[in-house]
Amino acid sequence: MSTLDPERNRTDAKRVSTATLAFVGDAVYGLLVRERLSAVEAPVGKLHEASAGMVCSLAQSEAYDRLCGLLTDDELAVLKRGRNMNSNHVPKNADTLNYRRATGVEALFGYLYLSGENGRIRMLFDAIWDGADIPVKTGEQQ
């Protein structure tokens, strides 16, 4: 990822808890969305709304479907590990299935980031972005 240091020390992502992978992946995913939306000439409030709509559990659950056929066996295992993680918390605006699938997507992005797989992150995010219903027009779509 262009905004991240590729020379930083890599973490052994296989030893990191699933909850921590999702925690990191949430930040990575949100940054990717904001980076793409930064190409849009729109009021910041509209960009924030678009960002919130793309990082919500429903949108990430839809991303889950787009990713499944693109993943290696190890990546698919992390995605499913995140989806199956026990959580005592489900946001009031999300159903359990969407929330769990979104957690799987976040865990995958956290795993890839901590593994230093920035090119793979970009490729998978491109697949998500290309299939997403983006609520504002990006520079490449104008």
Hey, which residues are catalytic here?
A: 26
How many residues are recorded in the chain? 142
Amino acid at 130: D
CA 23/CA 137 separation, integer angstroms: 29
